[in-house]
Amino acid sequence: MNMKPLLIATILLLSSAANAQQPDWVSLEDAASGAFKELDSEQSKKIYVFQRCAGHYLALSEIFSDASEELEAASIVVSSTLSQVATFYKINLELQRTGNVSDVESESKIVLDVVVALYEKYMSWLNNNYITQGSYFEKDQEFQQEMQLCEGIAELASSIMLNI
């Protein structure tokens, strides 16, 4: 029996599991610190943090979908609010840079594409946690810290939406 195909399949399986771990990105804490604690922070940093938390909440809505319709719906609403604020900031950034007002629909589509990509990364992270630890986030300290951070960012986004 030729063991080479079995060995290749095993290596591919292990490498795909390794790729499904936490994404290789800047920590959310560092990103939020750069976006909201620096005196001269760039709008683009804020946009990234709002989008990242929108992807985070969208992934949570998927995880919560089997357990609680209320938690799923609440997570979707928060993700939507964060996406709207990111779009608002993108439009303002374009206005500052070029003096032109961007098309809301096209900017919303760009934000949505980024949020979906981030959602997919979060889902890989959460699914890997479930496979390796038996839970999506209960045993993952870093993900729990992101949950707390995104909760604060979501509160900020809600207050911004009230003032728009």
The average pLDDT across 116-139 equals 94
How many Å apart are CA 68 and CA 32, to the nearest integer? 29
Q: Which of 61, 53, 47 has the alpha carbon at shortest distance from 29?
A: 53
Burial of residue 68 (number of CB atoms within 10 Å: 0-12, 13-18, 19+): exposed
pLDDT band, very low/low/confident/very high, at 8 (cuts 50, 70, 90): very low
Residue 114 lies in a domain: yes
pLDDT at residue 100 is higher than 80 = yes
Residue 14 lies in a domain: no
DSSP 65: T
- Which residue segment(s) compose the domain that 119 sits in? 32-162
Q: Which pair of structure tokens corresponds to residue 30? A: 């560092």
Residue 11 lies in a domain: no
Q: Contact 52/45 with Cβ under 8 angstroms?
A: no
State the pTM of this model: 0.83
Domains identified in the chain, total number? 1
